[in-house]
Structure 1
Amino acid sequence: MRLALFQMTSGIDAASNGDAIAAAMDVAADGGADALLTPEMSLLLDRDRERAAVRAEADYPEIAVLRKNARELNLWLHLGLPVKQGDKRRNRTLVIAPNGEIAARYDKIHLFDVDLATGESWRESRVYEGGDAPVLVEMDEQEVGLSICYDIRFPALYRTLAEAGAGLLTIPAAFTVPTGRAHWHVLARARAIETGCFVAAPAQVGRHEDGRETFGHSVVIDPWGRTLLDMEQGRGVGFADIDFAAVARARVQVPALANARPIPSPVRRGMAAQAN
Structure 2
Amino acid sequence: MPKIALLQMTSGIDPEENYSSVEAAAKEASRVGAEVLFTPEMSLLLDRDRTRAATWVNSNEPIRMREWLARLAAETGVDLAIGSMPFPADEGLWANRAFYFDATGAERATYDKMHMFDVHLSTGETWRESSAYKAGDCPVSIDDTPMGKLGLTICYDLRFPALFEELGKRRCDTIAVPAAFTKPTGVAHWHVMLRARAIEASAFVIAAAQVGKHQDGRETYGHSVVVDPWGEVLLDMGGEDAHLAYCDIDLERINEVRGQVPSLANKREIPN
Normalised by the length of structure 2, the TM-score is 0.94
Separation in 2, partners of 1:224, 1:118? 34
Structure 2 residues not aligned, in runs of 5+: none
* Cα drift, residue 29 of structure 1: 1.0
Residue of structure 2 aligned with 1:96, choices 97, 101, 105: 101
Structure 1 residues not aligned, in runs of 5+: 266-276
**What are the equivalent positions in structure 2 for 1:219-258 lying under 5 Å apart?**
219-233=225-239, 234-258=241-265
Separation in 2, partners of 1:58, 1:178? 33
Change in 2 beyond 3 A, CA 1:56/1:241: farther
Normalised by the length of structure 1, the TM-score is 0.93
Residue of structure 2 aligned with 1:123, choices 121, 128, 138: 128
**2:212 counterpart of 1:206:** yes
**What are the equivalent positions in structure 2 for 1:118-197 lying under 5 Å apart?**
118-138=123-143, 139-140=145-146, 142-197=148-203
Matched residue type, 2:264: L
Change in 2 beyond 3 A, CA 1:182/1:104: same
Q: Deviations over 1:110-136 (max 9, x none)?
A: 111111111111111111111011001
Matched residue type, 2:57: V
The secondary structure found in structure 2 opposite 1:63 is helix
Separation in 1, partners of 2:140, 2:4? 20
Q: 1:262 maps to which residue?
A: 269
The secondary structure found in structure 2 opposite 1:51 is helix
Contact between 1:200 and 1:221, CA under 8 Å: does it hold in 2?
yes
The share of aligned pairs that are identical, in percent, is: 49
Separation in 2, partners of 1:145, 1:171? 9
Q: 1:111 maps to which residue?
A: 116
Q: 2:12 maps to which residue?
A: 11
Q: Deviations over 1:40-90 (max 9, x none)?
A: 000111111111122467744233222212112111001120111120011
The secondary structure found in structure 2 opposite 1:240 is strand
Q: Deviations over 1:85-122 (max 9, x none)?
A: 12001101000110111110000001111111111111
**2:89 counterpart of 1:85:** yes
Q: 2:30 maps to which residue?
A: 29
Contact between 1:57 and 1:83, CA under 8 Å: does it hold in 2?
no
Separation in 1, partners of 2:139, 2:60? 20
Q: How many residues are aligned here?
A: 265
Contact between 1:153 and 1:187, CA under 8 Å: does it hold in 2?
yes
Separation in 1, partners of 2:183, 2:104? 37
Contact between 2:115 and 2:135, CA under 8 Å: does it hold in 1?
yes
Q: 2:45 maps to which residue?
A: 44
**2:67 counterpart of 1:64:** yes
Separation in 1, partners of 2:202, 2:70? 32
Contact between 2:118 and 2:129, CA under 8 Å: does it hold in 1?
yes
Q: Deviations over 1:6-45 (max 9, x none)?
A: 0010011111111111001011111211000000000111
The secondary structure found in structure 2 opposite 1:82 is strand
Change in 2 beyond 3 A, CA 1:95/1:255: same
CA RMSD of aligned residues (A): 1.3
Separation in 2, partners of 1:140, 1:177? 32
